[in-house]
Each structure stands twice: as structure tokens, then as C-alpha cells.
Structure 1
Amino acid sequence: MELNGLDLKYPAVLSLGVLVALALAFAVYRMMSSRSARGAAAVANSTALTELPEYRRALFLHRVRMAVLALSAVLLGGGALVGAARPLDTAIDKPQTRSRDIMLCLDISGSMAAYDATLVATFKSLVKSFEGERIGLVIFNSSAATVFPLTDDYDFINDELDTATKALSGDPDLDSFFAGTFNGRGTSLIGDGLATCVSSFDKVDLQRARSVVFATDNHLAGRPIIDVDEAGELAKAKGVRVYGLNPEEDGPDDEALEMREVVTGTGGRYYAMSDQSAIRGIVDSVQAQEATLIDAASRSLYSDNPTLPIALAGVGLLGVVGASRRWVS
């Protein structure tokens, strides 16, 4: 972030105030000049009086006090005008993001119902370990739906994952969370879900590290458009690494072995949900992928800075009060 100096929110107020002040000053000057010309009267033998040292000292002090009073009034009025114009400190923020994208991919079919809320909590633990990476969420059953696209707004991500937890825990007010996931034939179409997640990455023309965290039991129940092996080949072709999380593995079985082969074939790793090292392993693997810092769009940040008008008005007020009291005495 770099400072860009002092700015005014309402510069027209200052310009208009200066014009009004000049007009008032001219009107006061003309009025005083006219009054002085009409009120002047010759006094005989006054030279001896005006030559007295006491008179000269009193006249000098009078002029000094009037000058101080006028200058203080200018400072007080100027401070008020500058304050009304709202002085602002301007800073240019140049945020940077890491060139890593992570798509969270969650199977919400019936066989996963007992695990989904726990898996979302696992996703939240993963999110806490990242900083600057873009993260998105896709859910799938007989068809896939994007819950939120890739973003680095971590407050938004956590809010959406909280909503997902409530929906997957059976909150009847959040049935809309599942919209778009029942448009196919069958349930738990694993290959279609993975293919959708792999195809959800944007900026395909840029060199970025792309990963999918794929949570499923790999229990297929239907006829997918793309089977899981084809989805794995698609991930390899797009340079996407898939990290598998299987919540139901209780030993080697054909479905677990197939899932392991698919994810490891993309350069990713396979974990049973019961594996205590799963979260740390996924985070370390994702962060081990080379990433560069990318400058995001610059933005101007403004904050009120009333120091100058307060200082001007304070000095002016002290001068007015001081000069007026001495003049009265």
C-alpha cells in the first residue's frame, strides 16, 4: 500500500467559501472606508498629542491587535471551510493473490448423507490453512451444481460453508441448497460430478496451480455421461490434480481402489476420511505446487483526516479570543 497524499471530498465547498469570504471582505472594506470618510473631522493642535510616546505605543499595539484579530479570523474561517470540504488521506492498495485455485467437490447422494456435514467441517479446516488461494464449491448427485465459484473472499467462503453445514444437517429452510443436483438419471454419478468440478476452473489461458478436493464414497448408482476414469483423464489433460477423500473406506475394495487409481493418476493423493493426516497432507500437497504472486486491480482507500482544519481553527480561535480580550481591557 502506498500513500497518495491529501485529497478533498468536497473541493467545491472550499472554492465557493473562498469566493464568499473575498466578497464579504470587500464589502466590509468598502463600508469602513465610506464610514471613515464621512466621520472624519479636523482637530486643531493635535500634533502634540500624536507625537507623544504613549500615544504612539498605544497606536502600535492597537494595530498589532487588529492584525492578529484579522489573521486569527482568517485562520478560524479557513479551518471551518477546509473541514467542510472533508480532507481525506488517500492510499493506493495493490492487493496480491496467489496463483492457486482449489475446487471443493462434494458428493451429496444418499450413501453420503451420514458424512456430508463432517466433510464440510473438513473443508472448513482446509480453508483455514490457506491464505490468498481462490476456493470454490461444487456439489453433485445425479447432476452437479456450483454453490459458489472460485473466490478469495474468505469471509464469504466460510459463510457459505456454514450454510452448507446447516443444509446437509437437515435444515428444512435450506432445501434450495440442493437445487440443480437432481437433473440426471440415477444418483451419485461420480464421473459427471468430477468432470464438472474439473471444468469449473476459469482463466484457463493462465498458468495456475489447480486442485480438486474430491469427497465421495465412489458408489455409483446410475448411468453417468462421463465415467470416473474419463473424468480423471480430463483432469490430467487440464493439468488439474485431484485429492480424494473417501469417508466410507473400511478396507480395500474395488470402488476404493478405483478411486485411488484415478486421483493418483492426476498427480494427486488419496486419503481415507479416518486418516488423521488427510487435512495436513492435502494442504501440504497443494501448497507444494509452484505459485506466483499476481497483482490484483489497484484500489483507492480514503480515510478522513481532520488534523489540518482542527489545527487551523484551534489557532484561529485562540488568536481571536486572545486579541479580543486584550482589546477589551
Structure 2
Amino acid sequence: MTFWWATLLLLIAGLAVWAITFWNRRAMRRSPVLVANTSFLERLPSFVRAQRTARVVRAAQVGVAVLGVIGAAVLSGRVATERIETPDFANRDIVLCLDVSGSMYEYDTEILQTFSTMVDSFGGERVALSIFNSTSRTVFPLTNDYDLIRRELARGAEAIDFDENGYRLGTKDYPEEKVRSYVDFIEGTRGIDDQASIVPDGLASCGLLFDQAEADRSRSIIFATDNEVNGEPIFSLDEAAQSVSSRGIDLYTIYPGSFECTQTCFEELKAATEEVGGGLFQTTDPDAVPSMIDQIQRTQAQQMGASPTVIRTDHPMFGFVVTLLALVAVLVLGWRSR
């Protein structure tokens, strides 16, 4: 906000008060009123004190007026600070894509909690969650209702946590309520008998959750799987990744580890992800989540045309207060010098 008008008014008012006060004083000195037999007054202590006080008041008026002019000059100069900011974009769509097959039991709770940590850093982005095994299910579509997102992620993390003691599902007894919450959560992901963890088809299904195809929005999939495929997928992993990439969707893969094909699964997943310009992160890396979020935000900002902007912030308060106080002081001193 510009305070040039306030500066001008205060400056004019201060100069007017100063001019009127000292013009009157000079006029009085030029046209004295002669009174006979008053020379003795100059020897009276009270008269001497009054003259001294008058001189001090006039000097104070001059000093305050100068201070007011300095304050007005500072105010009109618009003291400000500058900082450079890169605009953040809230037009991001992010699909969280989670493998809930048996080989992922050990990791799913941790990954869902990791997803929740990511959501805490978002501000306006739309988020969706899709889970898959032999078939896929959408837990919630793209939304920016963060209370719902956190609630569903927490519910899923609790429902699928069957390995807190290091055992897989089926090796120990669980309360019926616990089993029921798990079954409800993964409902719809076991649609093909004798098949599990159809990773390529799960990835391709996640790519279909993006709506507003014509809108200028950035799109990302955060894909968590161990890539242990047990069945006959429609797509190969490379085809699924290319299908996602062809729609302008960035791919970020979380690899938690694998029981059976550790190196093979990892290398295949890494190659497919990096082939489309994506990034692969391992859950064993403590910097994986911050790095992923930073990469998403940085890449998306570039894609959406973000450029650094200089933000200028005025700080008029000091000059305004000094000028106002100087004006008040000039008025008070002017009244006192009458």
C-alpha cells in the first residue's frame, strides 16, 4: 500500500503550523507595542524565565518540525524489503497406487503411513488412493478433503497391519473384527482366481483415475509395489509405464523390498520407471519421502510455467509514526508558545 497521500497531508500540515507560528512571532517583533516605564520587567526573574521558556519552545518547534520533515521524507521514500518467491501450484493431481498382495503385508501399513506423511505437506492438491492385487479398487477418488484422506489412510493402515509380530496372515489367530476390517478394506482386489499382484495392470488402472483431461493440471502417480507378479497381466510393466507417461502423468515408485525375486524385481521396476523419466525410491532410505515430495513439487512447478517473483513489502509504520508525532508536537508547542 502506498502512503504518499498521507505523507503529503502531514507534510503540508506540519509546514503550515510551523510557518504560521513563526510568521506570527516575526510579525510581533516587527510591530512591537510600546509601553512606557516597563524596562524594569526585563529584570524580573519571572519575566526572564518566561523569555527563556519562549526561546526553548521556539527551538523545540524548529527541531520537531525538522524531525517531521525527515519522517515525511522517509515515509515518501517507501522503505521496503524484497524477497524472491517461486509460486506454489495447487493444481496438482496425485494418485497413491498401492499393491495389497500377500507379499506386501509386511510393508503396506508403513507405506500407508508414509502416504499420510506426504499428505501433511500438501496444500490444495487433489489426492486419490487406489489399491490392487489381481484387480483394482478405488478407495477414494481425487479429492482435496484432507480430513477424509487422512481418515481413510489411517483406516487402511490399521486394517492391513497383520504383521506387527513378524508373522504373515494365516500363521496366527486374529480377532474376527480385525479380520473383517481387513476384508472390507481389500474388497474388490481379488477378482481373478489363482492370480495375485498383477502389478502392470494395477499401474495402468491407477492411470485411469485422472479426470479433467483437458484441464491444465499436473498429474503424478506414487506407485508402491514389490513387483512380485503371480498371474497373467494384460500389460507388461513397460507398456503400463508407457501408457501412464503418454497421458502426461509422472511416475514415482516406492520399492519396499521383495521376498522372492529381490534383484530381478527391483531392476525391472527401476528400468520401467526411469524409462519414462520417473524416480524410484526405497523405503529403507530415510530421505525417500522428502526427496520425492521435493522432486514432485519442483518438477510440477517447472511444468506449469512457474518463475521466480520478486515480492516487495513496504514498511511505512516508522516514518508514519514519526511524522504524526512530530505534527502533534508542533501543534502542542505552538499552543504553548502563545
Normalised-by-shorter TM-score class:
0.5 to 0.7
Unaligned runs of 5+ in 1: 1-95, 294-329
- Distance (whole Å) between structure 1 residues aligned to residue 187 and residue 89 of structure 2: 31
- Distance (whole Å) between structure 2 residues aligned to residue 197 and residue 150 of structure 1: 11
Aligned: 1:111 with 2:107:
no
The partner residue of 1:260 within 266, 270, 285 is: 270
1:149 positional shift: 0.3
The partner residue of 2:293 within 258, 283, 287 is: 283
Question: 1:134-154 CA deviation, whole Å, 9 max, x = no partner?
Answer: 000000000000000000010
Aligned: 1:241 with 2:263:
no
Corresponding residue SS for 1:176: helix
1:265 positional shift: 2.1
1:264 positional shift: 1.6
- Distance (whole Å) between structure 1 residues aligned to residue 89 and residue 297 of structure 2: 14
Identity %: 38
8 Å CA contact 2:258–2:265 kept in 1: the answer is no
Letter in 2 for 1:182: R
The residue correspondences of 1:92-103 to structure 2 (distance < 5 A) are: 98-103=90-95
The partner residue of 2:145 within 132, 135, 153 is: 153
Corresponding residue SS for 1:148: strand
The partner residue of 1:124 within 100, 104, 116 is: 116
1:266 positional shift: 2.4
1:277 positional shift: 1.4
Q: Which residue of 1 aligns with 2:20?
A: none
Q: Which residue of 2 aligns with 1:219?
A: 228
Question: 1:67-98 CA deviation, whole Å, 9 max, x = no partner?
Answer: xxxxxxxxxxxxxxxxxxxxxxxxxxxxx981
1:282 positional shift: 1.0
TM-score, length of structure 1 as denominator length: 0.57
Q: Which residue of 2 aligns with 1:167?
A: 159
1:228 positional shift: 1.2
Aligned: 1:187 with 2:179:
no
Unaligned runs of 5+ in 2: 1-87, 163-177, 307-338
Corresponding residue SS for 1:114: helix
The partner residue of 1:210 within 219, 239, 242 is: 219
Q: CA RMSD in A?
A: 2.0
Corresponding residue SS for 2:115: helix
Aligned: 1:137 with 2:129:
yes
**Closer, same or farther: CA 245–176 of 1 in aligned 2, 3 Å:** same
- Distance (whole Å) between structure 1 residues aligned to residue 196 and residue 249 of structure 2: 25
**Structure with more strand by fraction:** 1
- Distance (whole Å) between structure 1 residues aligned to residue 276 and residue 118 of structure 2: 20
Question: 1:172-226 CA deviation, whole Å, 9 max, x = no partner?
Answer: 2312111110112410000010000111111011121111110000011100111
8 Å CA contact 1:99–1:292 kept in 2: the answer is no
- Distance (whole Å) between structure 2 residues aligned to residue 153 and residue 114 of structure 1: 28
1:125 positional shift: 0.8
Equivalent residues, number? 198
- Distance (whole Å) between structure 1 residues aligned to residue 262 and residue 137 of structure 2: 30
Letter in 2 for 1:257: E
